[in-house]
């Protein structure tokens, strides 16, 4: 029997406009709402990310973060 899908955790989050638009687009393409889409991404994080690419993009994001906050 499949595990019942329940959204049991709620948390306020802040997203950039680009991130929010991408989340909305992903959720729509997948036929999910935003909470379900985020749950999918984080439940399957290791399987949907490229470790090298992720590390590179994270370093780049962190370098740009201070400038983006201004």
CA–CA gap between residue 68 and residue 63 (Å, rounded): 10
Total domain count, the chain:
1
pLDDT in tens, 40-61: 999 999 999 998 899 999 999 9
CB count in 10 Å sphere of residue 59: 10
**Residue 35 falls within a domain, yes or no?**
yes
Which structural domain, as residue segments, surrounds residue 37?
17-69
> pTM, whole model, 2 decimals?
0.75
In this structure, what DSSP letter does residue 49 have?
S
| Alpha-helical segments (H) within 1-70 | 17-30, 34-43, 45-48, 51-69
**Residue 31 falls within a domain, yes or no?**
yes
pLDDT at 3: 66
**Residue 4 falls within a domain, yes or no?**
no
**Residue 45 falls within a domain, yes or no?**
yes
**Residue 12 falls within a domain, yes or no?**
no
| Residue tagged 């984080």 (tokens) | 42
**Residue 7 falls within a domain, yes or no?**
no
């Amino acid at each position: 029997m499949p595990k019942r899908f329940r959204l049991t955790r709620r948390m306020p989050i802040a997203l950039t406009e680009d991130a929010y638009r991408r989340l909305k687009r992903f959720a729509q393409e997948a036929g999910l709402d935003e909470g379900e889409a985020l749950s999918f991404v984080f439940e399957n994080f290791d399987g949907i990310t490229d470790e090298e690419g992720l590390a590179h993009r994270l370093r780049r994001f962190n370098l740009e973060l201070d400038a983006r906050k201004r």
